[in-house]
Amino acid sequence: MAYHADHMTLSAAPPGADRRAALFRESLTEKATRWTLGVAWALMPGRISGLPNLARLCFHELLAPDYALPDPERALADPPGLAGIAHDLSLPTLLAAYRRGLYPLAHIAPLKWWSPPQRSVLFFKNFHISNNLRRLMRQDRYSVTFDRDFDGVIAACAGRRAGRWHLTWITPRIMRAYAQAFDAGFAHSFEVWNEAGELVAGGYGMAIGASFTFESQFTHETNASRIGAAVLTWHLAKWGYRYNDGKLIGPLWENMGFRDMPRREYLALLSDAVRLPGKNGRWQAEADLDTVSRWQPE
């Protein structure tokens, strides 16, 4: 694996408060755009039917705010998986939520806890690496690191995507919460660097016990994020993690081997996994891309 020492030396130190504050900033124009698109998204056919239930939940919370984490198995059917309002995103609450199978998400206020009826999960024996991706990994065009630039990765995940409306759930509040989890050793990132030492792809997730939940990813070069996902999966399997929880399935997840499972089955799996030891502290890559490209999951 080709390392770019000049870039990595700069990134190796803990991120400064000034850089983090600059990355986790949202201008008034960006906030107004997010709210406008968030309202439009909620009013789209297929989603608008869930607004009455959300309104009732918000009304009850207004009368008697409930700071306790909701029961994931009592999440609403419409909107699917809405479990409650998230008042507190402190680290202890965030960790407790993940141990229960909940995660926070909202394009606009109020922030909500979710527990979808189907969960997209990858068991590592089912992981698929295409032949084209294997060849790309052997060309020495990229390198992959862990936990080198978490702040840069989460900011890029929240950034604009070519050809798409800019609507993100990764708000400054979310960024700060997961950055705190990263500082405490629970959130982790992978970074994909090109030959020029530029960060061209990455992703981040939460590791609790032997459970890993993937949160988001970005890419600026074709297939770069797939390379990072393959390296991440190799290490999760090697380090004894039970699965990679992708939350909601998408085309990329499906092609890699993720499959939906019912919530109750996932929660039972999660309950066992969080009791097992995971990989503590900052993560470091233990295999180069050539090694990962020759991996045959069983």
Domain parsing of the chain, residue ranges: 5-17+121-293, 41-115
> 39 to each of 33, 48, 109, how far by Cα in Å?
10, 10, 10
> 141 to each of 39, 97, 203, how far by Cα in Å?
42, 39, 19
Judge: domain 41-115, CATH 3.30.70.3550. Answer: yes
Do 278 and 242 touch, CB atoms closer than 8 A?
A: no
Q: What are phi and psi of 62, to 5 degrees?
A: -65, -40
Q: Kindly indicate the confidence band of residue 61, based on its pLDDT and cuts at 50, 70 and 90.
A: very high
State how far the Cα of 108 lies from the Cα of 95, in Å rounded to an integer: 22
CATH topology assigned to domain 5-17+121-293: Aminopeptidase (3.40.630)
The pTM is what? 0.92
Q: Is 201 helix (H, G, I), strand (E, B) or coil?
A: strand
| Among the listed residues 22, 24, 275, the one whose alpha carbon sits nearest the alpha carbon of residue 168 | 24
Task: Kindly give the pairing relationship between strand 211-219 and strand 243-247.
Answer: parallel
> 152 to each of 99, 263, 269, how far by Cα in Å?
26, 32, 32
Query: ∠ at Cα 44 (39, 48), nearest 5°?
Result: 85
Instruction: Collect all residues with Cβ–Cβ distance below 8 Å to 184 and sequence separation of at least 6.
Output: 91
Given a cut of 50, whether residue 276 has pLDDT beyond it is: yes
State how far the Cα of 294 lies from the Cα of 132, in Å rounded to an integer: 12
Beta strands of the chain (E only): which ranges? 82-85, 103-105, 112-114, 118-122, 142-146, 187-194, 199-208, 211-219, 243-247, 259-262
Given a cut of 90, whether residue 8 has pLDDT beyond it is: no
Task: Kindly give the pairing relationship between strand 82-85 and strand 112-114.
Answer: antiparallel
Given a cut of 70, whether residue 14 has pLDDT beyond it is: no
Q: What's the pLDDT score for residue 114?
A: 98
Task: Kindly give the pairing relationship between strand 199-208 and strand 211-219.
Answer: antiparallel
Q: What's the pLDDT score for residue 252?
A: 67
Q: What's the pLDDT score for residue 58?
A: 94
Instruction: Collect all residues with Cβ–Cβ distance below 8 Å to 261 and sequence separation of at least 6.
Output: 118, 119, 121, 269
State how far the Cα of 286 lies from the Cα of 238, in Å rounded to an integer: 10
pLDDT per residue as tens digits for the range 97-142: 999 999 999 999 999 999 999 999 999 999 999 999 999 999 999 9
Amino acid at 14: P
Q: What's the pLDDT score for residue 162?
A: 82
Higher confidence at residue 7 or residue 162? 162
Q: Kindly indicate the confidence band of residue 3, based on its pLDDT and cuts at 50, 70 and 90.
A: very low
Question: How many Cα atoms within 13 Å fall on the side-chain side of residue 233?
Answer: 28
